Amino acid sequence: MNTFGYHLRLTTFGESHGSAIGGVLDGLPAGLDIDLDLLRREMQRRRPGQSALTTPRDEQDEVEILSGVFEGKSLGTPIGLIIRNTDHRPHDYEAMKLVHRPGHADFVYESKYGIRDYRGGGRSSARETAVRVAAGALSRMLLNSKGISIQAFVSAVKDVHVPLPYTALDLSLTELSPVRCPHPASAERMVQVIEQAREAKDSVGGIITCVAKGVPAGLGDPVFGKLNARLADAMVSINAVKGFEMGDGFSSTLRQGSENNDSADTNHDGGITGGISNGKDIWFRIGFKPVSTIGKAQTTTNIQGEEVILEATGRHDPCVLPRAVPIVEAMAALVIADALLSPGYTAHLK
């Protein structure tokens, strides 16, 4: 499955070390102002090589719009996007040609298709998410016109957690930190943890919190198209994501109903009730595992099933969280924009 969405549909293509990646976004309404500066800004937030905490792969991630836009406005037709891979080094992965990397999709991909692109994971690589960020930027343009904003930030790296709820944070500080955490003291400690992991040829995971403000009540469906289910689907489709928690999530299981039911000043449900947005902030958390490709020697198997020792080469992030923030925002934007374009919701507005 290479297509995401119902009414706003994104289809992506390409491999990590192929000549290009790209996609087609279909369903964006006609007449929308296309803000190329916003598009470039979002791509720069995700691109590799942006700080000492990320992979040194140097991709500028310039997006070429092939169709669907004329004189600065959307035409209502499919928008074709392409991003050239300019710093791809397939030779870095020759040593992994016959080896299944631990924690990666190598073995299962081969089991499913009988073949795999071993150059950085091919289609399974997080490189594909650059297209999602481009499409998410276009979706943001629709949301911005409706007064809807989306802000994600790193709320934990390994055992370093931001000690405050998002409502007590100044989210405008997020981009001032290389780790994209709006709590300065926590951000400093997070940077230290990531640098220590990199020096040890290891990696660390953590948590991203995402908040959508200005979302009107009435988005989503009460059964199979629940808005929280769509968000969960979107977030778990991101590479390295292992957990999704809506609102207070698992901590709500420790309360009684009288404590957990939302009031005017509480938002335990995360802005979605019965699968439909209730007009409050939509907020959720996503758990990312540590990056699987590390420089430390690891035991794995080759394609013959024999045990071998792998010391991975190539260019990799010691922690994906800083670059995953715009990916989370992009997927949230795609989901909420898709729900806005639902015939059931737009018929209600009329």
DSSP lists the bridge partners of residue 210 as 152, 284
Per-residue DSSP letters for 232-266?
HHHHHTSTTEEEEEETTGGGGGGS-HHHHS--TT-
Domain annotation for the chain: domains and CATH numbers: 3-349 (3.60.150.10)
Q: Which two tokens stand for residue 254?
A: 């420790």
Task: Give 208-233 as a DSSP string.
Answer: EEEEEESPPTT-S-SSTT-HHHHHHH
- Digits of tens for pLDDT over the chain (350 positions)? 899 999 999 999 998 888 899 999 999 999 999 999 999 999 999 987 666 666 655 567 899 999 999 999 999 999 999 999 886 566 666 667 777 777 777 788 888 888 877 776 777 788 899 999 999 999 999 999 999 999 999 999 999 999 999 999 999 999 999 999 999 999 999 999 999 999 998 999 999 999 999 999 999 999 999 999 999 999 999 999 999 999 999 999 999 999 999 988 899 999 999 999 999 999 999 999 998 888 778 777 777 777 777 776 656 789 999 999 999 999 999 999 999 999 877 655 44
